[in-house]
Amino acid sequence: MKTPLASLSTAALFPPMRAELLRVLRSLPDEAWSLPTACEGWSVRDVAAHILADDLAYLSRHRDQDGLTLIPEDWDDLVRQINAHNDVWVRAAKRISRTLLVGLLEFTGAQLDEFVAALPMEELAGAVSWASDAPAPMWLQLARELTEYWMHHQHVCEAVGIVSLKDRRFLHPVLSTFVRALPRTYAGVSAPLDTTVQLSVTGPAADHWYVIREADGWTLYKETDLAPASVVTLADDTAWRLFTKGITPAEAEARARIDGDAALGRILLNTVAIIA
């Protein structure tokens, strides 16, 4: 028995997530805006400006069909181009006042909420590169965007010492998106058919997922009656940091429990679900 993963429904999470970001930003004292974040070289103010850039880019490309599309030569070139564009924007955005920045985030957030609510979720769109090279359904594209906004929200909140949006309502769909990267992590791993690796996440976003070796590669499932060769258990807070390169595989292993085939389980700790 193998039960496939269901599609994710995330559009309804965008309005409350943006409302919480605005609440956090408006609550900050002047000195908090310059605090460093986990994004190397970026302050809280810089991360907020980057979120605005994400709004503008997504609406321009997808709603208006009139935005910049990067044409990289390879993966490394894609990362280089993205980092270069992000750097140019953040440096230019230092001219925007904090009051105007928050106002713009409210304005673009409302437009983003309206647009994503009307998207045809089952229609195929571009690939989610860290999951597969194949065209992805719109719901997965949108879930990927949700994780991007949620991650940067955490960068802001952790810099200023605020716990926000870490309840199951938000963290579970974030992790349910990130785990779509597991088949790509195991893509080059040879193993007998039906070899199964189980990821168990504990905490408020607790759940289980299974990546299984099949004739044409590794596939992710929600449930199976196959006995796992390896079980990797991570706290939800550790899992999201691992998948976004917030901690190293070695740091994750120190916090993880791996039962069964340890070498097979350690491969899971190389999973990355962002472009970086």
Residue 170: inside a domain:
no
The span from the CA of 224 to the CA of 4, in Å, is 9
Alpha helices by DSSP H, the chain: 14-27, 44-58, 75-93, 98-117, 138-160, 168-178, 182-185, 236-243, 249-255, 262-268
Longest dimension (CA), the chain: 58
Residue-level pLDDT at 111: 97
200 and 146 co-located in one domain: no
Residue 273: inside a domain:
no
CB 93 within 8 A of CB 101: yes
135 and 160 co-located in one domain: yes
108 and 230 co-located in one domain: no
140 and 10 co-located in one domain: yes
Residue 174: inside a domain:
no
110 and 229 co-located in one domain: no
Q: Which of 165, 188, 211 is the last residue in one of the domains?
A: 165
CB 233 within 8 A of CB 200: yes
Residue-level pLDDT at 71: 64
Residue-level pLDDT at 67: 67
77 and 135 co-located in one domain: yes
CATH (domain of 40): 1.20.120.450
3-state secondary structure 87-152: HHHHHHHCCCCHHHHHHHHHHHHHHHHHHHHCCCCCCEECCCCCCCCCCEEHHHHHHHHHHHHHHH
Residue 171: inside a domain:
no
146 and 18 co-located in one domain: yes
11 and 101 co-located in one domain: yes
β-sheet bridge partners, residue 199: 209, 232
Q: How many domains does the chain divide into? A: 2
The span from the CA of 232 to the CA of 124, in Å, is 32
Residue 248: inside a domain:
yes
The span from the CA of 274 to the CA of 131, in Å, is 9
14 and 146 co-located in one domain: yes
The sign of the CA dihedral 43, 24, 275, 258 is positive
263 and 195 co-located in one domain: yes
256 and 153 co-located in one domain: no
The span from the CA of 146 to the CA of 148, in Å, is 5
160 and 184 co-located in one domain: no
pTM for this model (two decimals): 0.93
Q: Would you write out the chain's pLDDT as a tens digit for each of its 276 residues?
A: 999 999 999 999 999 999 999 999 999 999 999 999 999 999 999 999 999 999 999 999 899 988 667 666 676 776 677 777 778 888 888 899 999 999 999 999 999 999 999 999 999 988 898 998 899 999 999 999 999 999 999 999 999 999 999 999 999 999 999 999 999 999 999 999 999 999 999 999 999 999 999 999 999 999 999 999 999 999 999 999 999 999 999 999 999 999 999 999 999 999 999 876
The span from the CA of 79 to the CA of 111, in Å, is 28
Q: Which of 165, 196, 212 is the last residue in one of the domains?
A: 165
CATH (domain of 203): 3.30.1050.10
| Closest to 139 (Cα-Cα) out of 55, 13, 268 | 13
Burial 228-253 (b: 16+ CB within 10 A, else e): bbbbbbbbbbbbbbbbbebbebeebb
Burial 42-60 (b: 16+ CB within 10 A, else e): bbbbbbbbbbbbbbbebbe
- Encode pLDDT of 129-154 as tens digits: 899 889 999 999 999 999 999 999 99
Percent of the residues in the chain that have a pLDDT greater than 70, as a whole number:
96
The three-point CA angle 126-127-130 to 5° equals: 150
Residue 208: inside a domain:
yes
Residue 19: inside a domain:
yes
44 lies in which domain range?
2-165
Residue 274: inside a domain:
no
Q: Which of 130, 165, 200 is the last residue in one of the domains?
A: 165
Which residues, at least 6 apart from 237, have a Cβ–Cβ distance to it below 8 Å?
166, 203
